[in-house]
C-alpha cells in the first residue's frame, strides 16, 4: 500500500502537481522534458511572466521521485522566479487575484540542463531583440548618453579627458534564483567573457599601467621623496577608479589584465591597485560559480552577451541583462580633449 506524505493538510504529491499546473496554465513559456527530448510551448495569454522548465525529478522533501515536477523558473522583466505574483485589476475580474509562490524543491540534473540551456538562451535573445526593435529608441535610433574617456599622452606628458556621446546599451533584464546553480554558473561565465566588458577592462588596465609608469617630475637631491600613493600619477588613477565604482568581480579581472613586465607573474602595481580598490585576494563567490561551470558553456550560450546588473546580495536571486545583437549606432565626438 502506497504511503501518502503530507505537508500540512495537503499531500506532498498534490503540492508538486499544483506548482506544475500553475506554470503550465500561467507561465509565459514552458519547456517540458520528455523522453523524445525538450519541447517548448508559448502561452498566448500569460499571467505569470516567467520561463518554466518541467520534467522528471527527485525533490528535496523525502528525496522522492516525481514523473513531472517544476525544475526551474526564470523571471522575465521585473518578475522574480518562484515568487508570488500579483495580477492587475483587469486580471482580477477575469481570473485569480494572485498566483502563489512555487516551491524550489527540485533541480535540473547536469544532463537535463545541457539539454535545456541552448533553448533557454535562444529564447531570451529572441525576447530581447523583439522588445528592443519595438522601442522608440531602438537599435536603429539609439539613445546616446554623454560619457568621458581618459587617456594619457607621453609626448605631451598630460592626462586628457575626452567627452563623447555613446549609444546606451540596449537590452532586456531577467532574474535567476541563487538555487539554480548550473544556470548561475553560465551567467557569471558569460559576463566574465563578455567581449565588450573585457575590451573596456583591458583598456583601463593598459591606461593604469601607462600612467603609473610615467613620471614627469625630475629627481633632485633637495626634493623630499613622496610615498607612492601621494604621487600625482597615483592620485589621478585613484580618482578615475573611484568614479568607475567597479564591482568586486570586475576588479579581479582588471588586476589580471594589468600588463606584466620582465617575466613577473603579477603586475608591479598589482598590490597597490588591489589595496586601493579593497580587494584582499580571496576567491569571490562569483569566481567559484565561474570555476564550477559545466563543459562547453560557449555552445550553450550561442553568442549571447550579457551583464549582471544586480549581483549577490541579501536577495534570493540575481538580475542580468542580455544585450540585443541587432547593430547599434557609432559613438559621436562632442568636443576636443580637455587636458587635466
Half-sphere exposure of 133 (CA within 13 A, CB side): 9
Residue 150, SS3?
strand
What are 37's strand-pairing partners? 34
| C-alpha cell recorded at residue 82 | 518562484
| Contact between residue 72 and residue 60 where contact means Cβ atoms under 8 Å apart | no
**Predicted pLDDT of residue 134:** 83
DSSP letter for each residue of 235-261: HHHHHHHHHH---HHHHHHHHHHSPP-
pLDDT digits (tens, 9 = 90+) for 73-109: 999 999 999 999 876 555 545 555 789 999 999 999 9
Chain-centroid distance of CA 267 in Å reads 28
CB atoms near residue 69 (< 10 Å): 22
| C-alpha cell recorded at residue 32 | 517540458
What are 166's strand-pairing partners? 145
Scanning the structure block, which residue is given the C-alpha cell 580571496? 282
- CA-nearest of 70, 36, 58, 332 to 177 is 70
pLDDT digits (tens, 9 = 90+) for 171-226: 899 999 999 999 999 999 999 999 999 999 999 999 999 889 877 665 555 566 77
* DSSP structure class, residue 140: S
What global pTM score does this model have? Answer: 0.87
Gap between the Cα atoms of 221 and 259, Å rounded = 31
pLDDT digits (tens, 9 = 90+) for 248-261: 999 999 999 999 88
| Contact between residue 13 and residue 66 where contact means Cβ atoms under 8 Å apart | yes
| C-alpha cell recorded at residue 316 | 534570493
Burial call 42-51: b when 16+ CB within 10 Å, e when fewer: ebeebbbbbb
Helix 181-192 crosses helix 110-134 at what angle (to 10 degrees)? Answer: 50
Q: How confident is the model at residue 298 (pLDDT cuts 50, 70, 90)?
A: very high
Q: Determine what percent of the chain is predicted with pLDDT higher than 90.
A: 59
**Predicted pLDDT of residue 329:** 61
Gap between the Cα atoms of 183 and 74, Å rounded = 10
pLDDT digits (tens, 9 = 90+) for 111-136: 999 999 999 999 999 999 988 888 77
Amino acid at each position: 500500500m502506497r504511503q501518502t506524505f503530507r505537508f500540512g493538510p495537503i499531500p506532498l504529491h498534490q503540492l508538486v502537481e499544483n506548482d506544475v499546473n500553475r506554470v503550465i496554465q500561467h507561465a509565459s513559456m514552458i519547456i517540458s522534458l520528455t523522453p523524445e527530448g525538450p519541447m517548448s510551448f508559448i502561452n498566448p495569454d500569460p499571467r505569470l511572466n516567467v520561463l518554466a522548465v518541467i520534467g522528471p525529478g527527485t525533490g528535496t522533501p523525502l528525496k522522492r521521485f516525481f514523473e513531472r515536477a517544476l525544475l526551474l523558473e526564470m523571471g522575465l522583466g521585473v518578475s522574480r522566479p518562484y515568487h508570488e505574483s500579483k495580477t492587475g485589476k483587469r486580471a482580477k475580474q477575469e481570473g485569480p487575484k494572485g498566483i502563489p509562490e512555487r516551491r524550489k524543491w527540485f533541480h535540473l540534473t547536469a544532463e537535463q540542463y545541457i539539454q535545456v540551456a541552448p533553448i533557454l538562451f535562444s529564447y531570451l535573445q529572441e525576447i530581447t531583440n523583439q522588445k528592443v526593435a519595438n522601442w522608440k529608441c531602438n537599435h536603429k535610433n539609439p539613445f546616446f548618453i554623454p560619457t568621458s574617456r581618459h587617456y594619457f599622452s607621453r609626448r605631451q606628458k598630460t592626462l586628457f579627458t575626452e567627452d563623447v556621446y555613446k549609444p546606451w546599451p540596449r537590452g532586456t533584464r531577467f532574474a535567476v534564483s541563487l538555487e539554480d546553480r548550473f544556470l548561475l554558473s553560465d551567467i557569471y561565465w558569460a559576463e566574465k567573457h563578455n567581449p565588450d566588458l573585457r575590451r573596456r577592462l583591458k583598456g583601463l588596465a593598459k591606461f593604469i599601467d601607462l600612467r603609473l609608469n610615467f613620471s614627469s617630475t625630475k629627481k633632485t637631491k633637495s626634493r623630499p621623496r613622496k610615498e607612492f600613493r601621494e604621487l600625482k600619477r597615483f592620485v589621478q588613477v585613484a580618482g578615475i577608479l573611484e568614479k568607475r565604482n567597479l564591482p568586486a568581480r570586475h576588479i579581479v579581472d582588471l588586476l589580471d589584465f594589468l600588463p606584466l613586465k620582465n617575466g613577473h607573474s603579477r603586475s608591479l602595481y598589482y598590490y597597490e591597485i588591489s589595496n586601493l580598490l579593497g580587494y584582499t585576494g580571496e576567491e569571490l563567490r562569483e569566481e567559484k560559480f565561474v570555476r564550477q561551470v559545466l563543459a562547453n558553456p560557449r555552445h550553450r550560450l550561442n553568442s549571447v552577451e550579457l551583464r549582471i546588473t544586480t549581483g549577490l546580495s541579501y536577495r534570493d536571486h540575481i538580475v542580468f541583462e542580455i544585450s540585443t545583437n541587432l547593430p547599434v549606432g557609432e559613438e559621436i565626438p562632442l568636443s576636443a580633449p580637455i587636458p587635466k
